[in-house]
A = this chain, B = another copy of it.
Amino acid sequence: VSRHLLDALATTQALCGIFADAAVLRALLAVEAALARAQADTGIIPARAADAIAGAAHAERFDAAEIAQAARRSASIAIPLVEALTARVRAADEAAARFVHYGATSQDIVDTAMALLVLRALEVLAGDQRRLGAALRTLSDRHSGDVMVARTLLQPAVPTTFGLKVALWFHAQRRAWRRLDEAAREAAVLQFGGAAGTLASLGEHAPAVTRALALQLGLAAPAAPWQSDRDRIAALVAACGLLCGALGKMARDVSLLMQFEVAEAAEPGGGSSAMPHKQNPARSAIVLAAATRLPGLVSSSLAGLVQEHERSAGGWHAEWPVLADAMQTTGSALEAARDIAEGLTADTGRMRANLEAARGAVVSEWLSTVATRSVGRDQARAITQGVLARVSDGVALEVAVGEFPALRDTLSADELRRLGDPAAYLGQAEQFRRRLLEEG
């Protein structure tokens, strides 16, 4: 009963595996085994019991579907799992069975197992993010001097470079990644508090067991158990939302550049079942789908923060699929963005041609600023519109400019020459581009 088809664009093979039953079982059982080991090391349960527990804690011996079904009775997947584990341990070593899950509560096991899965997912995401970053950096450098029209509200504005555009994509995903990476590391910590967060059942041994358990699992231990303070998880989901937003912006740009009428860039691949000729922005669609979905996942995650007392009824229980979906969908977007960045082809000739076609439009800011020097804002607007009207009647830009004294008399010879060269009106594009790549 997998849902590969409906989730095809919302996860990747690797991430699907990390949050699938086998991996979740392995993580839950790893926590139970590490707990027993930590308690044996601390001397509060026999080493033999820890061995028996570890020996029984093999994921393949448990039936995830059955455990999931049973979980609906207690609203906890750990309770039926602990029962099943205890039965298996008892079968092997009667005396050891009493030490299964000793002093812990369900949420300790589930939260800590989720921390392990988050770290594994982070690693997968990090791999794609590194490749995405590297590809964007290369792309930006390659096109540092390729001019194109900048578009504001989807209308031609002034010239810019494709290199700067890509550098902005690069920096945005870097900022977002740093937030996500930091949030994941803060979220992936040990939860160990016993029945209600005081570890009373372990008496004086609690600190030593906690330290040993954290060590076993390679997780940090926070100042106190956090079973009803889920802000770290919500911050991680929010960081996924911010990253998908940044990737979505890039994908929106790519899909717009790929339009037949624009045709300045194309991502690789993307067929249609009805129209053989089509090259669709398929990977952009995957990224945009993630950016469409994440805001809602973040909202679900934040809504769960209002938890009751020492363990909530509902807030916590909403968390697992939301966290898993957020990381899987983000990973899907990262993989698709990586493919876009690595395979993007830019048509710099078409960029120049589109800029040329919009030439009158794109010099209007400059003309207006120049005219302002001699005549003020309102008249400068009128003059600029006059020039553009002439250009759209077919008059050459340089000629049209010469017809308006406020412009002609203000422009230096050098400036007049630059009118014909968009590359001369790039301002700080290259400086900004370099700074973005350096900082990233």
Contact = CB atoms under 8 A, between A and B. Distances in A.
A153 B195 CA distance: 11
A116 interface: no
Given A274-B106, A276-B380, A425 B293 contact: no
Interface stretch (A136-144, A226-234, A396-404): A226-234
B308 A248 contact: no
A339 to B, nearest CB: 9
Contacts of A77: 5, 8
A431 B361 contact: no
A354 interface: yes
Interface residues of A, number: 200
Nearest to A329: B321
B384 A272 contact: no
Contacts of A234: 241-242, 245
Interface string A305-347: 1111111111111101110110000000001100000000000
B171 A224 contact: yes
Contacts of A106: 272-274
A312 B251 CA distance: 13
Contacts of A65: 2, 4
A189 interface: no
A143 B302 CA distance: 30
Q: Closest 7 A-B residue pairs measured CB to CB? A: A288-B314, A245-B305, A296-B300, A200-B427, A152-B311, A150-B196, A98-B376
23 contacts: A5-B24, A5-B25, A5-B64, A7-B320, A9-B71, A9-B72, A74-B271, A74-B282, A154-B281, A157-B196, A168-B229, A171-B224, A194-B274, A194-B427, A195-B275, A229-B249, A230-B245, A235-B242, A256-B308, A256-B309, A289-B317, A292-B314, A296-B298
